[in-house]
Structure 1
Amino acid sequence: MSGLLLAAGALSVAAAAALLAPVLRRRAAGSAEPSETAIYRQQLDELEQDLARGLIAPREAKAARVEIERRLLRAAGRGEQRLASSAGTRGVVIATAVLAPLAAAALYLPMGAPALPDRPFAARSEQNNQQLAIRQMVTRLEERLAREPGGLDDWLMLGRSRSVLGDMQGATDAYRRARALAPDDPRAAGGLAEALTFLAGGMVPREAAALFEEVARRAPGDPQAAFYLGMADAQAGDSEAGKERWRRALAALPASDPARDRLLNAIGGAGRQLGIDVAGVLATPPASAPAGPEALAGMSLEQQLEFVRSMVGRLEARLENEPDDAEGWSRLGQARWLLRQPEKARAAFDKALALAPRDVGILKAYAASLLGPVDPASGLPEVGDEARALFDRAAELRPEDPEPWWFLGIAARQRGEQARARSDWQRLLDLIGPDHPDFAGIRARIEALGS
């Protein structure tokens, strides 16, 4: 497991997952594979066939159709960001230190929260290779979770996978386990809320609405939460409130943001399903400022810096009116760190921690911002005393989270405490399990510590 990979994951709260990737996703937009799009179109065809044969109720078919149409466009944003350590060439160092952080900030700040991984819909097809692979993966994951407790990411993965397979009750159970492990994690809250909505046939139940409200508080710019809350308003008979919520969400998204097209498609489908006129909502003009890495294309380095500074300025202005937004202060801290403003970054993180001293995400983001340079020989970042103390608090609050144990092992190794490093990394291996792609690399590092 490369030091840069986990450092980037901890810092992003959106440049990973999910600096700054959204929300709709883990939180980082890539292009959908043509095969994935074909699968979604196939599922629309199968849905119509099932409806014609009477295998699904019209109400459930309407809800599923809206979601499939929304996911068809949303697939373009799916993907997991992986960064690898590549010390040794100056070009890679420059890209990592300047261009990648700027692109991450450009993608994250306008959307407002760490990347929530995309939450797949209830797929009905059992005839394609993708579902076969998912079923095999789910079986292996369930077998492992039956042997050991599992961590947050394990239960989130199980929830998403069960959703894909159409097992919404199983997805709900998995997301509840994830939420028990991390009550403050918006991925668990959002995943559970969406699963409950599907379980209710497309109606947004009271519990789901409360969860979406929680996501909206933690990630004010989350289009997914805004969409479902608007659905809940409209389903409750207040279509004007629902349309106003959708209108505000659209107005906050620039035309260049892929999330805007996905939200437009979802609102259009919801309007047809609910029988309400959303033409005025769909005509909502986009935000004037472009968002996402594509906004940086063609800009000089100075223009890119100015672009990110302007976004930071807007975030600061909002925090003046909403000073109790711990997540907002944390995002500001990360942005300041990316702009090489360590003192301002520390001040923002300090405010975030004062508001939410037990928020593991903030603790990890703050700690990651304090990491030192990567040692070319080991490929590991320097973990100083301050960063170590923050990771230690995170591990104490959420011992099932693998990430702090990685950095605590690095800190112990750098202090010459081989036994402690071995213990921390072994704890990490126990949490991620042998199927994790980094398992062998971590085990090799443990063996390299010697006896």
Structure 2
Amino acid sequence: MIFWIVVITAALMISGLFAYALIKGRAGDEPPAAYDLRVYQDQLKEVDKDLARGVINAEDAERIRTEISRRILAADAQLQHGGDTGGQPETAGKVVAVLIAAFLVGGAAALYAELGAPGYDDMPLQARIEAATEQHANRPSQAEFEANLPVRPLNEPEGEYGELIGKLRQTVEDRPDDLQGHILLARNEANLGNIKNAYTAQDKVIQLKGEDAALADYLFLAELMIASAEGYVSPEAESALRSALQIDPSDQLARYYWGLMLIQNNRPDLAFRMWETLLQQSAPDAPWVAPIRSRIQDLAFLAGVDYQLPPLAPAMGDGLSGPTAEDMQAAQEMTPEEQQEMIQGMVDNLSDRLATEGGTPQEWARLIGALGVLGDLNQAQAIFLEAQTRFEGNAQALAIVRQGAQRAGIVN
């Protein structure tokens, strides 16, 4: 409210100055007609002097006196009519003064309503940080947030696989300390798309493992929770990410989700620094690169940073398939959404080629990891099973493929 009082008062004061000048005209100064009258009187005296010196004759002198006298009468009439304002139109001045006041006050209010934040108090940096900290501490839990989402029915498989899932669920219910049973249940529920059941089982896996819980365990739990909450990073998901980063502070997937959590809690300054560094360190085809590129410029603006998005770089020479030079040239002219579609298309193309023509273990691992980060856990699981079949008996190839599955969070 204080802001509005100050703004309106300032606008009225400025309007008052304009109004005073318009209504009073040039009061206190010599009116133009008075100056003209004095000039004409001096000209009459000069006519007599010129006639006496013989510069003009009597006939010219009389003609000149007549013209000057006419001008004196007109100037005197104007002086008498205008008074102290020098002929300034009073009514018109008042009208213009009112219009100026309305324009200044109304224009200031309209401009602030468009560009400002009506109803908000002044928010210095420390106050904004404190507000963000309070929001972060009081945000909804995983269960509270999911309670506002549409209820998803369980996906129940049919046939023999359905019977196996039923037995697995019964087994972990009868034997709550069966670690391997919970591991299998978490993976299979995720494969079925029953995300809430999957993260419940994965949470139990971490409890049973205790200090032996690995980076992939925490990442899998965090991804499942975030997927179940449709992108929201709850306090429980944050806790899983924190544990993952304590194991490996450089893990890129955990840093991506941590930056997302910072954005959701009004800390664009911290999120921008984290994502900018992550973008510099990530491979061009890393699944989180496209989402970061689509948002980081807006993030920089909110953080008060002058940032220029670098061009999309080609994949490094690791011998794997990637965008061509023509693709990169075209990508630089695309919107972030179009770049995302291009990357998704490349993933789909790689998937089709591996399914029909096969490929190296590195390509299979890349595809599995990309699908996992994109949230397509069902497809990642299916590709992983197919890769295991293709490289059966090749321990080195299977180890490479398993690394991709670990990045996707579908195996330990």
Name the TM-score, length of structure 1 as normaliser.
0.30
Greater RCO between the two (CA within 8 Å, min separation 6)? Answer: 1
Name the TM-score, length of structure 2 as normaliser.
0.33
Q: Which structure is higher in helix share?
A: 2
Q: Which of the pair has more CA radius of gyration?
A: 2
